[in-house]
Structure 1
């Protein structure tokens, strides 16, 4: 079954993916960019082509989300997949409970998301604010198409998974890393024992976890990108790095009053719910 690592773009999904890939797929918990390949993004070309669907055909992509996911579903086997997609779009469900065990959704203060979005996609801050407010937003240049909606609709859509979705704040993933990761493991164990096998146990290896925490720090991943590059960085400009400011990306210093008010007025209810206001 699939455990989704879901989020709006630029909310910390790559950090979460690094944590899980290094803990579950490296020999000792030490992170390397190559381990990210063990947790592919969905939707992706390879999966659609594997069952004979044209990944450039938008209607076929959307209508076959669930059919294509079946290639990842194996009995008593847990597959992590990354996504920025809405849980539901065009009145079509992105997944179902036959394919999906659950999801971990990373949420981040939308004022900081707008700034990180601006850097990552090489857009002005004004344009980035408009995009994260756009209910019909999708990731440009991605095949298959990725419908992401606004920051709010993306977040609210995954709440439809109810008790099978664990919401974690990016800020906690950075500042309370060890405590937060252990909670995520317990959540996965609980769902796995309920829906896959009662015999499943995730016994946390603290030495391995310490290695994960050390090598998936923002500073270490930034250094790895400096040394080796990072193929998931969409910027061709070598001076524009994927790992830019991290927790030091502070809206208080870079968002003017108008942009700040625009985000807060549109997302007031959700931001208060999450403790961002």
Structure 2
């Protein structure tokens, strides 16, 4: 059964994925980038290649969302998957179901701060990045890597608030993690994550291991690791140059870099959800 690590892009999914990888796949809690391989992305081509090769047709891929998960869950083991896909239904085809989903950890981030991160990651203007949040979106490729085993697959995002609402409303076992809370009180958020996961699978941890997890998955630590090499999920700019993934992190503050017009538009568009999440 799958525990999803779900989020809109650039909301802190890789940070939470790093924390959980260190928690579940080390004895000492010391994180290394190769541990990310323990938590794969879904959808990706390796899980669909036995069903279709029409990888950029959402109406073809949707037919096999559940079939791919059925196959993944044949071993009846608890496993974690990262996803940016909206938890939607298209016609008769659902992205996932109770049969395949054990729980969801959903990571959210203030959409005003997403604008700058999306601008950097996808090489978009600030205006286009705002529109990225506002319009239903299909992403065909997240990384440079495009081989059959590792290439990411066409992903339906929806708008920022649709993405949050569809995951929140379609899941019984749901843990919300706010990026801002991870920054301000990482210890408390780690405790929440551990308590939630323990409901579904055993965890071996202690105070020393938890301290190592927090230290080696901090933004500065991950940024330094990226500079030393070994991270392979970067985006590329129009000149095919690798872009820094761990760019600003906690230093990305919308109050310093977002003009009032765009700020007001975001707050109006997402007022209900931002109020619910405590961003307003």
TM-score where L is the length of structure 1 = 0.91
Contact 2:219–2:246 (CA under 8 A) maintained in structure 1: yes
Equivalent pair of 1:5/1:82 in contact (CA under 8 Å):
yes
Secondary structure class of the residue paired with 1:86: coil
**Residue range with higher mean Cα deviation, 22-31 or 101-110:** 22-31
- Deviation at residue 75 of structure 1 after TM alignment: 5.1
* Kept in 2: contact 1:108–1:169 (CA 8 A): yes
Partner of 1:127: 128
The 2-side partners of 1:74 and 1:208 are apart by 31
Deviation for aligned residue 1:26: 2.4
- The verdict on how the C-alpha distance between 1:70 and 1:213 changes in structure 2, with shifts beyond 3 A counting, is same
Runs of 4+ in 1 over 6 A off after TM superposition: none
How far did residue 237 of structure 1 move?
A: 2.9
Kindly report which structure 2 residues correspond to 1:167-206, keeping only aligned pairs within 5 A, or say none: 167-190=176-199, 192=200, 200-206=201-207
Other-structure match for 2:155: 146
Paired residue total: 266
Residue of structure 1 in register with 2:149 after alignment: none
**Cα distance in 2, alignment partners of residues 258 and 145 from structure 1:** 32
CA 1:163–1:141 in structure 2 vs 1: closer, same or farther (change >3 Å)? closer
CA distance in 2 between partners of 1:4 and 1:255 (Å): 31
- Provide the C-alpha distance between the structure 1 equivalents of 2:82 and 2:103, rounded to a whole number of angstroms: 12
Q: 1:237 aligns with which of 220, 241, 253?
A: 241
Determine the structure 1 residue equivalent to 2:147: none
Partner of residue 52, structure 2: 53
Tell whether the 8 Å contact from 1:172 to 1:180 is kept in structure 2 after alignment. yes
Q: Which residue, out of 257, 275, 279, partners 1:276?
A: 279
8 Å CA contact 1:3–1:80 kept in 2: the answer is yes
Is the CA contact (8 Å cut-off) linking 1:12 and 1:170 kept in structure 2? Answer: yes
Gaps of 5+ in 1: 193-199
Q: Distance in 2 between matches of 1:230 and 1:75?
A: 29
Deviations 1:167-189 (A, max 9, x none): 11011112211211111221222
TM-score (norm 2): 0.90
SS of the residue corresponding to residue 66 of structure 1 reads: helix
CA offsets 1:83-135 (integer angstroms, 9 cap, x no match): 0000004243210111110100001000001111111111101000001111x
CA distance in 2 between partners of 1:89 and 1:96 (Å): 10
Instruction: State the 1:76 CA deviation.
Output: 5.0
Is the CA contact 2:33–2:230 (under 8 Å) kept in the aligned structure 1? no
Residue in 2 aligned with 1:264?
267
**Shift in Å at residue 222 of structure 1?**
0.4
> 8 Å contact 2:43–2:83 — kept in the other structure?
yes
2-structure distance, mates of 1:207, 1:114: 37
